[in-house]
């Protein structure tokens, strides 16, 4: 499969486009990692909430145990502290949820930073490159057949712009019907050039079967 055009100018642009596309993808992946790490660092606030809630809960429960241990008057004194400890555990739970949400956000945004450019590259770069490779391969196969020249000339008659056709012959259709070898060669060359396929040397054209 031919990846690059036989035309030097077009090949140069294809190489530049490939390098730019690869560069954009590399930068997007690097930037994705940086964004992910930056957002992920905010998860420390969730961890701090967990640590604070856990420490406060332990302190309040310890105080409740101490009050409950006081003879005669201690019974029931620790209940408010137990309730406060439960509220502190809610802070721990909220911290855990915040940490998980930040990690999920970091993963999502980080993925989007490289996935979106990758999708754009697929649409504007990869698909056209694949189409070019398939077209050039198919055109080369047609050119290698015995009737390749005539088939390419007919394809050029349909696909190429009118000014290009009239530059070859004022009435290219009539020239094809008349079996004008020079016009057939020129039209086939137009199609080969448009597909980025290397031109065959003069006199190397496959016989068309005309007499």
Query: Between the CA of residue 23 and those of 8, 30, 116, 133, 166, what are the distances in Å?
Result: 22, 11, 15, 21, 42
Hey, what long-range contacts does 43-49 have (CB within 8 A, 24 or more apart)? 43/98, 43/99, 43/102, 43/103, 43/106, 45/95, 45/98, 45/102, 46/95, 46/96, 46/97, 46/98, 46/99, 46/100, 46/101, 46/102, 47/95, 47/99, 48/95, 49/91, 49/92, 49/94, 49/95, 49/98
Query: At residue 205, does pLDDT exceed 90?
Result: no
Measure the CA–CA gap between 90 and 71, rounded to whole angstroms.
31
For the stretch 36-95, pLDDT in tens is 999 999 988 888 888 888 888 778 777 766 666 665 555 566 667 677 777 778 888 888
What is the pTM for the complete model shown? 0.71
- 146-196 pLDDT, tens per residue? 888 999 999 998 989 888 888 988 998 898 888 889 999 999 999 999 998
């Amino acid at each position: 499969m031919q990846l690059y055009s036989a035309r030097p100018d077009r090949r140069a642009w294809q190489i530049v486009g490939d390098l730019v596309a690869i560069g954009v993808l590399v930068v997007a992946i690097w930037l994705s990692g940086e964004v992910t790490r930056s957002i992920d660092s905010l998860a420390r606030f969730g961890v701090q909430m967990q640590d604070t809630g856990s420490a406060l809960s332990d302190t309040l429960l310890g105080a409740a145990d101490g009050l409950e241990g006081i003879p005669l008057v201690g019974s029931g004194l620790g209940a408010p502290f137990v309730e406060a400890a439960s509220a502190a555990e809610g802070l721990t739970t909220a911290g855990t949820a915040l940490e998980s949400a930040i990690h999920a956000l970091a993963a999502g945004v980080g993925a989007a930073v490289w996935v979106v450019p990758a999708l754009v590259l697929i649409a504007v770069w990869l698909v056209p490159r694949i189409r070019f490779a398939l077209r050039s391969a198919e055109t080369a196969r047609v050119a290698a057949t015995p009737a390749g020249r005539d088939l390419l000339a007919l394809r050029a008659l349909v696909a190429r712009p009118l000014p290009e056709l009239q530059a070859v012959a004022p009435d290219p259709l009539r020239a094809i019907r008349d079996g004008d070898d020079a016009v057939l060669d020129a039209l086939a060359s137009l199609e080969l050039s448009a597909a980025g396929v290397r031109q065959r040397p003069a006199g190397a054209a496959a016989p068309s079967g005309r007499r």
